[in-house]
A and B are shown apart, each in its own frame.
Chain A
Amino acid sequence: MAESTLEIRDLHVSVGGKEILKGVNLTVRRGEIHALMGPNGSGKSTLSYTLMGHPHYTVTQGDILLDGVSLLGLTPDERARRGLFLAMQYPVAIPGVTLQNFLHVAVSAQRGYGEQARQQGDSRIQARLMPMGLFRKELDEQLKRLQIDPLFLRRYLNEGFSGGEKKRAEILQLALLRPAFAVLDEPDSGLDIDAVRIVSEGVNRLHAELQMGLLVITHYQRILNYIQPQLVHIFYKGQIVQSGDASLVAVLEERGYEWLEKEVGG
C-alpha cells in the first residue's frame, strides 16, 4: 500500500503579483510531526493559506499533493473533505452563529451528510445534518478531554473570544473533524502556560489516535517543548533553508534568526 503523504513540490506563490513563496519542497507522512520555524514575514502563513486554498494566493509553479493527488484547483471545502485541516492563527468571528451550531454543520459537511442529502435530492435542513444525539455524544466527550466548559458552545463563533479561547476552539474543531493532515499555524500564540499544556496535550492525543500528519508552524520554540517534532525546517524568505532533527530547535533558540541573514544572504 502506498504511503499516505502531504507533499509540497517546488511551490511558488504570489500575492498581488509579488512572489512570496519561492520554491518550497516538503513531504509530511502520516504519523509524522514536522515543525516549520521562521521569523515574521518569511511567508509561513502564506504557505498555510495556500495549502488550504485561500483565493488570494496564486500558485505560479509547483504542486501540492495529498496522497499523490494534486489539490490545486480544489476549493477549500473540497480540500477539507479530503482530509486537510488548517488551525488558523487568526480565526475570524461569525456573529450570530453559535459554536455548537457551527460545529454541527461543519462535522456534518465533513462526514458527507450534506453530500448524501444532495445526491438523494433531499433538501430538508435536517437531512444535511448528523443526527443530534450522535453529534452531542461525540462533542461532549471532546469537551471533557479538552477541558472546555459546555457553556462555551452557546457563544458566537470566535466573537469576543480571548486568544486562548480561539485556539481551544480551533483544537476542538480539529478533534471533531479528524483530518489526515493538519497544519497548525502558531497554535500557542496568545496562550498562557496552562492553556499551552491543554492545547498541546489535545494535539498529541489526537496525533496518536488518528496517526495524523502534523505541520506545526511557529515563530517561537515554546510550543515545541510540548508537541515534539521529528523533523524541523527553518523557513526564510519563502524557502526552507535548512532541515534537521529536533536539535535544530535548540540551535534556533540559542542563535535567534539573525544568523540566517549572514548564512543565507539577503
Chain B
Amino acid sequence: MTDDLRQLKDQSRYDFTTEVAYAHAVRPGLGEDIVREISAVKREPPWMLEFRLKALQVFLRMPVPTWSVDLTALNFDDFTYYMRPTEKKAGSWEEVPAEIKETFDRLGIQEAEQKFLAGVETQFDSEAVYGALKREWEEQGIIFVDMDTAVRDYPDLVRAHIGTVVPVGDNKFAALNSAFWSGGSFVYVPPGVEVAIPLQAYFRINAQGLGQFERTIIIADEGSKVHYIEGCTAPSYSRQSLHTGVIEILVKRGASARYTTIQNWSRNVYNLVTQRAKVEAEGSMYWVDANLGSYKTMKYPAVVLSGPRAHGEIMSIAFAGDGQHYDAGAKAIHLAPATTSTITSKSISKGNGRSGFRGLVRINPGATGAQAKVACDALLLDPYSRSDTYPYLEVHEDDAQVEHEATVSKISEEQLFYLMSRGLSEAEASSLIINGFLAPFVKELPMEYAVELNRLIQLQMEGSVG
C-alpha cells in the first residue's frame, strides 16, 4: 500500500460524518431572534436570556481582531448557531441513539471508557447526549454536568460565576460565545476534595457549518484538586466551521486544577477559544494544551494570579501542517506578591504551515517578588514553514524575576542520517526526532493521551514525507 493510500485510510478514522436526525436547528446566521430561540428551547431562566442578549450587543459593537490570524474570510452569517441532535438527554449508554453510538464506536470512545474512564460527559454537536457520573463523586459532593443542566439545577452557582473570569466583553469571540453558548461542562469540587481520576469530555462537531460554542466553568473550591481533560476530534466538511469556546476556571485558596486539551479539529475549522483561570492565594493552575488540527487557531490560555504565592503553568504544543495557521500562546498576569508562573511552548511547522507563539507576562504593581519564566522552542521541518514569536513582558516591580528564552531549530541532516543508518525510514526518523522534541510535553499527559498524541503526530508527519 502506498503512503498516500495508507494516510487516507488512517485519516478516515477521524474524518467522517454520521447521519443524525436533528431534533432542533435554528436558521443559519446571527440575530436577536436566534438568541431568544436558543434560550426558549433550553427553557432558560430570564437572567440567562438577559446575559445572552447583552452579550450579543457587545459582540455586534466589537471589531474583528486584525492582529492575529487572517480572519477576513470569516463570515458570521455562514454558520448555524444551534442544533440539537436528540430531543432528550440520555442517562445511560443504552439510551444513546444508534447513529451517535456508531460515531462514538468509530472514535473508540466506548472502548476508552471501559478502560479508564470513570465518567464521561460527551458533547455531540451542541448538546451533551450522554453522561455518566460515578456515584462516589456524587457522594463527595462533586458536580460534573453539562452546562444546560447546571443552569437548571445549580442556577445560583452558575449565575455567580459565569462571565467572572472571562468577561463578556473580553474579546469579540468571548462575546459571541456568551450570546450563543450551548453545551460545555460545569464542574464544582467542594473544599478539600481531591478528584482522583480525571474528568473527561469529548467534543465533536458533526454538522456542516455548525458553530460550536461550548461554555465550561470549573470551580475548584479551597484546598481541592481536579484534572479535567478535553479531547477533540472532528470530521471533515466542505464548508468552514467555527468553534469559539470559553473556558472559565476558578482556583480557590490552596486548590489545584489542571486542564488538558488535545485539539484535532478538521482542517476547515476556525478555532477561536478563550481559556482563563483565576488563581487565589497558594492555588495552582496547569494548562496543558496540544493543538494539531483546525484551519486557523487563536488561543492563549491564561492564568490570573490574584493571591499571594499563587502558581500558574501553561504548557503547550502546536503542530501546523500545510495550510494551517496557529497564533497560540499564553498569558500570565501576576497581581499578588510571590506569585510564580512558567510558560513552556513548543511548536512545529511543516509545509507552508505557520505556527506563531504570542506570550504575555505582566507583573502588576504590588506583585513583589514575582517570578516568571517563558521558554518557547520552535522546530521547522522544511524551508517553507514559518515560526513567529511575539513575547510581551510588562514588569512593574523591580524585584520581579522574569526570564525569557526562545529557540528555533531544524531537523538536522546528521540526525536523520544517524537514525536512518540504523534502519529507520525517513518518516520514522523524523517522527522520532519530533517525539523527542515534544517529550517534555508528552510527559505531562496521561498515558492513553500520550499514545493518541504520538499517533496524531505520526499521521501529521506521514502527510509530509514520502
Which chain B residues lie closer than 8 Å to A177 at the CB level?
422-423
Residues of chain B in range 85-132 having any CB-CB distance to chain A below 8 Å:
none
State A75–B433 Cα separation when bound (angstroms): 18
Q: Are B451 and A125 in contact (CB under 8 A)?
A: yes
Instruction: List CB contacts (< 8 Å) of B415-466 with chain A.
Output: 415, 417-426, 428-429, 432-433, 435-440, 451, 454-455, 458
Q: Are B436 and A125 in contact (CB under 8 A)?
A: no
B415 touches A106 (CB 8 A): no
Q: Say yes or no: is B414 at the interface (Cβ < 8 Å to chain A).
A: yes
Contact across chains for A109 and B428 when beta carbons are under 8 A apart: yes
- Closest-by-CB residue of A relative to B454 is A125
Contact present for A77 and B436 (CB under 8 Å): no
Number of A interface residues in the complex (CB < 8 A): 37
Which of A93-101, A207-215, A243-251 is near enough to bind chain B? A93-101
Is A55 an interface position by the 8 A CB rule?
yes
- In the complex, what distance in Å separates the CA atom of A220 from the CA atom of B436? 36
A77 in contact with B415 (CB, 8 Å):
no
Q: A55-B417, A94-B432, A94-B433 are in contact. Are A106 and B422 (CB under 8 A)?
A: yes
- A43-64 interface (Cβ within 8 A of B): 52-56
Interface string of B120-149 (1 = CB under 8 A from A): 000000000000000000000000000000
Q: Is the CB of B417 within 8 A of A95?
A: no
Residue B413 is within 8 A (CB to CB) of chain A in the complex: yes
Q: A102-B432, A105-B428, A114-B428 are in contact. Are A125 and B420 (CB under 8 A)?
A: no
Q: Find chain A residues with CB under 8 A from B9 CB.
A: 121, 123
Nearest CB in chain A to that of B421: its residue: A76
Q: What distance in Å separates the Cβ of A125 from its nearest Cβ neighbour in chain B? A: 6
Q: Whole-angstrom distance between the alpha carbons of A110 and B419 in the complex?
A: 11
Q: Are A123 and B425 in contact (CB under 8 A)?
A: no
Bound CA–CA A96/B435 (angstroms): 7
Chain B min CB distance to A109 (Å): 4
Nearest chain A CB to B430 CB, angstrom units: 11
A118 within 8 A of B: yes
Flag if A92 contacts B414 (CB, 8 Å).
Answer: yes
Assess whether A123 is in contact with B6, with CB atoms less than 8 Å apart: yes
The distance from the CB of A245 to the nearest CB of chain B, in whole angstroms, is 31
* Chain B window 1-44, contacts with chain A (Cβ cutoff 8 Å), 1 for yes, 0 for no: 10000100110000000000000000000000000000000000
B440 touches A118 (CB 8 A): no
Q: Which of A56, A86, A105 contacts B424 (CB 8 A)?
A: A105
Contacts of A81 in B (CB 8 A): 423
Q: Say yes or no for B412: interface residue by CB 8 A criterion.
A: yes
Give chain A residues whose Cβ lies under 8 Å from the Cβ of B412. 92
Q: Is A191 an interface residue (CB 8 A)?
A: no
Q: How far is the CB of B159 from chain A (nearest CB, A)?
A: 46
Q: List residues 35-56 of chain B with CB under 8 A from any CB of chain A.
A: none
Q: Which of B10, B425, B451 contacts A109, CB < 8 Å?
A: B425
CB pairs A–B below 8 angstroms (20 shown): A53-B421, A54-B417, A55-B413, A55-B417, A76-B417, A77-B429, A80-B423, A92-B418, A94-B419, A96-B435, A97-B435, A102-B422, A105-B424, A106-B419, A106-B422, A109-B424, A110-B423, A114-B428, A119-B1, A157-B436
Of all A-B residue pairs in the complex, the 7 with the closest CB atoms, nearest first, are A96-B436, A96-B439, A97-B436, A109-B423, A76-B420, A110-B423, A106-B422
**Could you list 18 further interchain pairs (A-B, Cβ under 8 angstroms) beyond the known A85-B421, A91-B418?**
A75-B420, A77-B424, A94-B433, A94-B436, A95-B436, A97-B433, A97-B436, A102-B419, A106-B422, A106-B423, A109-B424, A114-B425, A114-B428, A119-B1, A121-B9, A123-B10, A125-B455, A173-B422
| B binding-site residues for A, Cβ under 8 Å | 1, 6, 9-10, 412-415, 417-426, 428-429, 432-433, 435-440, 451, 454-455, 458
